[in-house]
Amino acid sequence: MVEVYFKSADTPFAKDALFLAIEKFMEKANINKNEIVAVKLHMGEFGNVGYVRPVFVRKVVDAIKKKGGKPFITDTTTLYGGKRGNAIDYLETASVNGFNLASMNCPIIIADGLFGNDEEIISVNGSKIAIAKAIFEADYLVVLSHFKGHGMAGFGGAIKNLAMGCCSKNGKLWQHEVTKPLHDSSKCILCLKCTKFCPAEAIYEENGKIKIDYEKCRGCGACLVLCENHCFYLSEDSVKKFHERLAIAAKAIMEIFKEKVFFINFLMDITPRCDCCSFAGRPIINDIGILASKDAVAIDKASYDLVLKEAKKDIFYEEHKIDGKLQLEKAKILGVGNMEYKLIKI
């Protein structure tokens, strides 16, 4: 049974303040003096407001410094359009969203370099995974994840943050090459917006029908989120393959860090979609709290169970028609972590 620590969002008194839990959680992280610690965090797309709040991240940074570690906050560039596609745009967006040297008291380094190609290749299960170099080179990894819905993974938490979040553009492309969408023309009103927002210019109109050029498509999923008529969708087979690739990429990161990794999941502002969207949307459930563990699968399973318990149904499946448990099962089979956990309330 893996230990998963839980601090409820129910905070009736000052002594229960949520950010105080971060100090207690971080006592469990086996960080040594002078170790370079990558604090992996999605700092939010420009316009999104659902990402992990800066005050929690600062608390993590302070706790690492107290242990003598040398933290830096990090994330990787994206595959799609938006304001995080290269390191300059990302650092500007991060600063607007509250993450900079002054507020965090540590450097922010975009781990896959200026254009997302700074990488190291790791072989796992016969696949070559491109890992963002600054993450690869760190001594210790602390993974901070906003637990919320996700259009391709059902939900996004620690596994998704490890897998997609720690890879360079090539690593992301490999995971996304199995998620090229299908198009349902019966729902389409031919507004042609998708032909403009596809970052690969893969969508076009021909003889009154929307077509996808699969040679160009990167499988980024932007069309799944942005078409207001929900015309784009994934086949069951591509969802399964995507979850399998997520698990393989997560395994690659775990091969690098082994025991030198710690996870914190934030079950707050639980939005239907991920923080890559340029909007957050209304949370679909009340805040639940914060969890911490040394095991990515256990913390995601515990997070998922708590959301289902609070909602009394699978709100992620209801939203996306994708079973998020698939990523847990695939990750468990590959040895990323364990499903069995013991919830310890603090």
- For residues 56 and 80, which CB has a smaller minimum distance to ligand SF4 in the complex? 80
Min dist CB 201 to ligand SF4, Å, is 8
- Cβ atoms of residues 4 and 344 within 8 Å: yes
Q: How far apart are CA 143 and CA 165, in angstroms?
A: 10
Is residue 7 within 8 Å of residue 303, measured between CB atoms?
no
> Least distance (Å) from ligand SF4 to the CB of residue 266?
27
Q: How far is the CB of 200 from ligand SF4 (least distance, A)?
A: 4
Residues 6+ apart with CB under 8 A from 68: 31, 32, 33, 34, 35
Q: Which residues, including other chains, have CB under 8 Å from residue 312's CB and lie 6 or more apart?
A: none
Instruction: Give yes or no for a contact between 275 and 44, defined as CB atoms under 8 angstroms apart.
Output: yes
Q: Which residues form the interface with ligand SF4 (CB under 6 A)?
A: 181, 188-194, 198-200, 202-203, 210, 212, 217-223, 227, 229, 231
Distance in angstroms (rounded) separating the CA atoms of residues 329 and 120: 27
Query: For helices 236-257 and 169-176, what crossing angle results, to 10°?
Result: 150
Cβ proximity to ligand SF4: between 69 and 181 the closer is 181
Q: How far is CA 79 from CA 40, 169, 224, in A?
A: 18, 6, 15
User: What are residue 102's phi and psi, to 5 degrees?
Assistant: -70, -45
Q: How far is the CB of 221 from ligand SF4 (least distance, A)?
A: 5
Nearer to ligand SF4, 61 or 152 (CB): 152
Helix/strand/coil for 44? coil
First to last CA, the chain: 18
Cβ closest to ligand SF4, residue 69 vs residue 154: 154
Smallest distance, Å, CB 280 to ligand SF4? Answer: 20
Nearest distance in Å: CB 270, ligand SF4? 25
Q: Which is nearer to ligand SF4, 182 or 346 (CB)?
A: 182
Do 27 and 262 touch, CB atoms closer than 8 A?
Answer: no
Q: Least distance from C-beta 79 to ligand SF4, angstroms?
A: 8
DSSP label at 2?
Answer: E
Task: Report the nearest approach of ligand SF4 to the CB of residue 250 (Å).
Answer: 22
Nearer to ligand SF4, 36 or 191 (CB): 191
Nearest CB to ligand SF4, comparing residues 220 and 261: 220
Pick between residue 73 and residue 223 the one whose CB is nearest to ligand SF4. Answer: 223
